[in-house]
Structure 1
């Protein structure tokens, strides 16, 4: 039975400052580093020994895996990074203080930008220096594939090809895998694995630094019913297990 661990990165510097982060490449806060260390201890306690690791190309996700692997003794595990696992791109909202954005645009509009499934934030202009096409880490990617802002629906559509191309084959080949990524990219995987509806996944919360375990049968279907789904804000169809 293959196992998959989903791990949202520890608290980032901009989580702490309550800013829209998206693809902005910030590091972990001190609290986030402590969360990652605790996640590593949880993996050791539960006897989880991933043999394949995947992260986004963003520093906070990579740092989280680096800490987890050190604490759990898995630093030798091969790591594959992909932009497809990046956080949802928040467009022109990136870098803005969330409270100030509410004061300017109203609570309801910000709620729609953040929590609806299909609504996109205000998009970046193509010449905006925050456009990912100007970053070296995305130089090998067709600029037409790089977003200027995404809905959750867009982010899910970006993530799923990586599941089919890289993660699922690793699991089918007998590996136990860990994905260190972001709230919204992990929502995309949870939505697919558990068959959640659009509204359900939009309200599904994934805490920072808390491993979520999926166990799969031979056909790569999640086995069993999840525990402590209420910690994620609902999720009647959730079949993962929150490990805390």
Structure 2
């Protein structure tokens, strides 16, 4: 006998309330990094639609997840919005994604909750690869949230973890050449201070949607001691209860930091 939808919905709602209370009573991760994967498959398999429809819903989901994290007082959020490899996709699809990113940046810059919570909006990645419209939106969002430090949203656009490390090494090499840094003084802290996310602590939790179990060149330096969590849910279908489950799993683990 099939369980009526209303019954299952009520059961999920009650479970969500219970889980919400449970995770708030334990140590909350201060930095979650999201690999937002599965937009195109969601469009194809769930909507029977073109990829752009999945990207549109994925963009809306980012806004929703940001506000969930703020409500849970997770102070730093980093999202893998667009990798350097994604430029190899169909140009029309890339152009549409860039338009969505532009809109997201303007919307975040004007978001009342962003300003109430004092969320600093940052873009990390190879900015030379971004079109002018995205750069203008980036400058707008960063200028509107300049000086905020209570919360941080890092949007990784045209980002690659190896390139992030390469850029840090180049900066350090220049400092050594100019006599500003002694080679013998270079350590992990030095390198970390030149990474694109140096203003925030390394991620406590890396969360990837869509069922893929890999990190795809994301925050390679920063995730050295991060906890990893993978869910089969596609990004547009990611729910608050899925976030709570990920946090609960994180809280149940004993972090060893390599010890």
In the superposition, the TM-score normalised over structure 1's length comes to 0.34
Higher share in strand: 2
Greater Rg over alpha carbons, structure: 2
